[in-house]
Amino acid sequence: MIAPALNPALHPAALAFAGRHQPRVWEPIVWILALVFYFAFPNHLGFGTELLITILFALSLDLVLGYAGIVTLGHAAFFGVGAYTVGMLAYHGFWNEPISSLMLAAIVAALVGLGSGLVLLRTQGLTLLMLSLCTMALLEEAANLGHEYTGGFDGLASLPIPKLLGLFEFNPLYPRTQYVYVLTVLFISFLFIRTVVYSPFGQSLTGIRENTLRMHAVGSPVRARLVTCYTISAAIAGIAGGLWAQANAYVNLTTLGLDRAAMVLIVLILGGCGRMYGAFVGAVAYMVLAHFLAKLYPTAWQLGLGFLLVVIALFARNGILGIGEALLRRFRAKRMPR
């Protein structure tokens, strides 16, 4: 018989740990804001759609980078594979039903993720960074060379995307359907990622990130876990890419490019990685700033953006969410009785 105070399962830290998968009160706010955006800014839905897709893409990167600690600079490879799966199937008249196309995009991207993960994840650090980058560049060049099928640099334009569920048309000028559709997919994917992260599997990923050697020592199948995580993340990135192709009715080489891979990395670090909502905060901060600065100063917006990145890197740990957490901690510490 253990006294309650000594029962490890009842220790406050253990309780917090056991309950951390439960939804927090503020979590619905994010989604309410996303819905408010739909009604408040009907003329910005094109931007909104791009923003939501970036969030989903950043979330997929968070899984490998933030939780498993795999530093990759080639994540756009999976985004591109997803986009080209949807794009090529639709363009060449094989298949274009939106929802099932997305599933196919996820499957193809997952296969590419599994294949490259088995090879690349033997390495780490700079080597892994360069290997992931080169793999992506290889895919990009392959898409350029195979221009008869992929459209090359010009891309595949005016993809015939039918009505969603046979009811809602994808209007290019007023992308309402695209926005709601992407938001729905983002929500479902988010629930899935949340479940993965708080599962024992997710716990072991964090363990690998913090101390690979110890995870080996406790008998965790490190390589297999990493590859599984990489594959799941690739599938989600593929979905994001597929959504991009559908929402724009267009796919081209930049879906596979370094610019996109670097951008999503910046977005995630800016927001704060390993916290899921970092993807949201980072994407909003980066894209809103880039978008509106570019409107005000079409030739000089990069200056402001660069300044923001430098300031965040210098004065915050773990991005914008890191600042928030530090402030919250200070606030709580003040309120605590001494």
Residues 9-38 that bind other proteins (CB under 8 A): none
State yes or no: residue 323 binds other proteins (CB under 8 A).
Answer: no
Write the CA distances from 130 to 93, 118, 243, integer angstroms: 36, 16, 27
Spatial distance between the Cα atoms of 118 and 273, rounded to a whole number of angstroms: 24
Measured from the CB atom, is 11 or 122 closer to other proteins? Answer: 122
State yes or no: residue 143 binds other proteins (CB under 8 A).
Answer: no
State yes or no: residue 152 binds other proteins (CB under 8 A).
Answer: yes
Spatial distance between the Cα atoms of 72 and 112, rounded to a whole number of angstroms: 15
Three-state SS for 142? helix
31 backbone dihedrals φ, ψ, rounded to 5°: -75, -35
Query: Which residue in the set 310, 326, 327, 328 belongs to the binding site for other proteins (CB under 8 A)?
Result: 310
Q: From the CB of 137, what's the least distance to other proteins, in Å?
A: 5
Smallest CA-to-CA distance from 146 within 155, 157, 159 is with 155
Spatial distance between the Cα atoms of 117 and 131, rounded to a whole number of angstroms: 11
Tokens 């370094």 belong to which residue? 258
Return the sign of the alpha-carbon dihedral for residues 41, 45, 50, 55. positive
Measured from the CB atom, is 27 or 141 closer to other proteins? Answer: 141
Question: For residue 251, what are the β-bridge partners?
Answer: 156
State yes or no: residue 111 binds other proteins (CB under 8 A).
Answer: no
Query: Which residue in the set 103, 107, 305, 323 belongs to the binding site for other proteins (CB under 8 A)?
Result: 305
Restricting to residues 171-230, name those near other proteins by CB under 8 A: 171-175
Per-residue H/E/C for 169-198? CCCCCCCHHHHHHHHHHHHHHHHHHHHHHH
Q: From the CB of 338, what's the least distance to other proteins, in Å?
A: 31
Smallest CA-to-CA distance from 247 within 147, 184, 176, 186 is with 176
Three-state SS for 6? helix
Stretch that binds other proteins, among 28-36, 40-48, 87-95, 212-220 (CB under 8 A): 40-48
Measured from the CB atom, is 27 or 259 closer to other proteins? Answer: 259
Stretch that binds other proteins, among 126-134, 190-198, 200-208, 222-230 (CB under 8 A): 126-134
Query: Which residue in the set 103, 118, 137, 289 belongs to the binding site for other proteins (CB under 8 A)?
Result: 137
State yes or no: residue 155 binds other proteins (CB under 8 A).
Answer: yes
Neighbours of 169 (CB within 10 A): 12
Restricting to residues 226-265, name those near other proteins by CB under 8 A: 244, 248-250, 252, 254-255, 257-260, 262, 265
Query: Which residue in the set 15, 18, 157, 328 belongs to the binding site for other proteins (CB under 8 A)?
Result: 157
Q: From the CB of 309, what's the least distance to other proteins, in Å?
A: 3
Query: Which residue in the set 14, 165, 224, 300 belongs to the binding site for other proteins (CB under 8 A)?
Result: 300
Query: Which residue in the set 301, 323, 324, 325 belongs to the binding site for other proteins (CB under 8 A)?
Result: 301
Strands (E), 180-250: none
State yes or no: residue 144 binds other proteins (CB under 8 A).
Answer: yes
